[in-house]
């Protein structure tokens, strides 16, 4: 019976990746090892599972049919394991979490480190990246997402907090160039803006009539690292939009001065996101609970007056959601 399961996991990974090389990287095997496993599986089944080219492997008709049944069978095994895991009080196993670089470093990693210290049988792997990872393809159990979520029926999301942001600059810059008061006053000011993949993110602020207005200042300094933006602002390079939790120490020390706080600048919702499944493993549940309790505290957002840049109150939950949207719990 055991022989019948040999190679199934490798086959499924290769089918999902569309490449033996990528599958080998995910499984921490050599490409030749993956190829040999697939060849033995094809020989045992008596069918060709992949059409091979020099760059890519695609499933044959028999391979596609076999893949669909293997995925269902593995899903049942995972559900059975999760059902057993759900009865354990002690989180255990390997937990892979993806998170934005700076927010993860300051507001998430310390909480999950504490979780790992409290549960000796839990192994926590943290990945820091500002790109939007493919959780299923890259094997993550949990991801921290800032900003709006894409609609997907494949994931569940839990709100953690709201990231308040504000606009700031060094006192020397403001003394030389003046302090903008209204949205119109920002035109002509130097700005240090956040840009990812060449796309500059606009600043959304409240106009005098209460409506929201996007500011696209076209800053000559564009960076994809928040700490570098904060450092440039402290050096007097211009106005910067920063999260309150990052800005607050510099406001307190006098290195930065607050120009517009989070009651006037639109922030971003923060969610924990994980693949939808029939059963939530205890390791994932423990991490989500730790983040729900700890992220607001790590951001200094538990009460008013804690930070110079006051966080907005979370938006009221909507009564319904569009079909196929990410579920929130």
My answer on whether 171 and 222 are in the same domain is: yes
pLDDT band at 177 (very low <50, low <70, confident <90, very high): very high
Q: What is the CATH number of the domain that holds 65?
A: 1.10.10.10
pLDDT band at 319 (very low <50, low <70, confident <90, very high): very low
What share of the chain has pLDDT > 90, as a percent?
Answer: 43
My answer on whether 121 and 76 are in the same domain is: no
Contacts of residue 130, Cβ cutoff 8 Å, sequence gap at least 6:
100, 101, 196, 224
Cβ contact 151:324 at 8 Å:
yes
My answer on whether 82 and 99 are in the same domain is: no
pLDDT of residue 325: 41
How many separate domains does the chain show? 3
Range from 36-40, 135-139, 271-275 carrying the lowest mean pLDDT: 135-139
My answer on whether 99 and 239 are in the same domain is: no
Is pLDDT larger for residue 197 or for residue 267?
Answer: 267
Give mean pLDDT, residues 118-136: 91
Cβ contact 219:267 at 8 Å:
no
DSSP 8-class letter at 150: P
pLDDT in tens, 72-105: 887 777 767 666 655 556 888 999 999 999 999 9
My answer on whether 290 and 157 are in the same domain is: yes
User: Got the DSSP string for 107-123?
Assistant: IIHHHHHHHHHH-TTEE
Give mean pLDDT, residues 114-138: 91
Last residue of a domain, one of 86, 103, 122: 86
Flag whether 156 is in a domain: yes
Cβ contact 115:286 at 8 Å:
yes
My answer on whether 182 and 233 are in the same domain is: yes
Taking the C-alpha atoms of residue 67 and residue 77, their distance in angstroms, rounded to an integer, is 15
Flag whether 310 is in a domain: no
My answer on whether 282 and 321 are in the same domain is: yes
- Candidates 182, 195, 176; CA nearest to 237 is 176
My answer on whether 82 and 105 are in the same domain is: no
pLDDT of residue 82: 65
Taking the C-alpha atoms of residue 235 and residue 256, their distance in angstroms, rounded to an integer, is 9
My answer on whether 296 and 147 are in the same domain is: yes
With 50 as the cut, is the pLDDT of residue 185 above it?
A: yes
Distances (CA, A) of 23 to 10, 42, 287, 315: 7, 17, 28, 42
pLDDT of residue 6: 78
Taking the C-alpha atoms of residue 134 and residue 150, their distance in angstroms, rounded to an integer, is 12
Ranges 74-88, 114-128, 172-186, 188-202, most confident: 114-128
Taking the C-alpha atoms of residue 111 and residue 100, their distance in angstroms, rounded to an integer, is 15
Flag whether 230 is in a domain: yes
Flag whether 209 is in a domain: yes
Range from 105-119, 155-169, 174-188, 309-323 carrying the lowest mean pLDDT: 309-323
My answer on whether 228 and 251 are in the same domain is: yes
Flag whether 155 is in a domain: yes
Last residue of a domain, one of 70, 86, 102: 86
Could you give the 3-state DSSP secondary structure of residue 231?
Answer: helix
Flag whether 175 is in a domain: yes
Flag whether 299 is in a domain: yes
pLDDT in tens, 249-291: 999 999 999 998 888 888 889 999 998 876 788 899 999 999 9
Taking the C-alpha atoms of residue 29 and residue 52, their distance in angstroms, rounded to an integer, is 19
pLDDT band at 307 (very low <50, low <70, confident <90, very high): very low
Q: What is the CATH number of the domain that holds 115?
A: 3.40.190.10
My answer on whether 112 and 193 are in the same domain is: no
Taking the C-alpha atoms of residue 164 and residue 180, their distance in angstroms, rounded to an integer, is 20
Rounded to 10 deg, the angle between the 31-45 and 20-27 helix axes is: 110
Domain that holds residue 11: 2-86
Flag whether 141 is in a domain: yes
With 50 as the cut, is the pLDDT of residue 16 above it?
A: yes
User: Got the DSSP string for 33-68?
Assistant: HHHHHHHHHHHHHTS--EEE-SS-EEE-HHHHHHHH
pLDDT band at 108 (very low <50, low <70, confident <90, very high): very high
Cβ contact 121:247 at 8 Å:
no
pLDDT of residue 215: 78
Q: What is the CATH number of the domain that holds 175?
A: 3.40.190.290
């Amino acid at each position: 019976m055991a022989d019948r399961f040999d190679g199934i996991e490798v086959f499924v990974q290769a089918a999902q990746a569309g490449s033996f090389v990528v599958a080998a990287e995910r499984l921490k095997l050599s490409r030749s090892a993956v190829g040999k496993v697939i060849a033995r599986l094809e020989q045992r089944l008596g069918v060709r599972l992949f059409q091979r080219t020099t760059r890519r492997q695609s499933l044959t008709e028999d391979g596609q049919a076999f893949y669909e049944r293997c995925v269902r069978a593995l899903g049942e095994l995972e559900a059975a394991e999760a059902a057993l895991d759900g009865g354990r009080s002690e989180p255990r196993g390997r937990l892979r979490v993806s998170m934005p670089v700076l927010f993860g470093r300051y507001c998430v990693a310390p909480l999950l480190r504490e979780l790992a210290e409290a549960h000796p049988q839990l192994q926590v792997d943290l990945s820091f990246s500002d790109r939007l990872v493919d959780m299923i393809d890259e094997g993550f159990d949990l991801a921290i997402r800032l900003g709006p979520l894409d609609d997907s029926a494949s994931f569940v999301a839990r709100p953690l907090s709201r990231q308040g942001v504000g606009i700031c600059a060094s006192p020397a810059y403001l003394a030389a160039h003046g302090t903008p008061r209204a949205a119109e006053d920002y035109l002509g000011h130097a700005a240090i803006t956040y840009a990812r993949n060449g796309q500059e993110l606009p600043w959304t602020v409240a106009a005098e009539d209460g409506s929201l207005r996007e500011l696209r200042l076209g800053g000559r300094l564009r960076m994809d690292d928040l700490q570098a933006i904060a450092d440039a602002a402290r050096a007097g390079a211009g106005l910067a939009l920063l999260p309150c939790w990052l800005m607050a120490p510099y406001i307190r020390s006098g290195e930065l001065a607050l120009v517009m706080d989070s009651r006037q600048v639109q922030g971003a919702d923060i969610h924990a996101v994980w693949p939808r499944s029939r059963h939530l493993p205890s390791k994932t549940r423990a991490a989500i609970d730790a983040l729900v309790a700890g992220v607001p505290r790590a951001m200094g957002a538990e009460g008013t007056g804690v930070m110079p840049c006051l966080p907005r109150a979370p938006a009221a939950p909507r009564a319904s959601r569009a079909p196929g949207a990410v579920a929130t719990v």
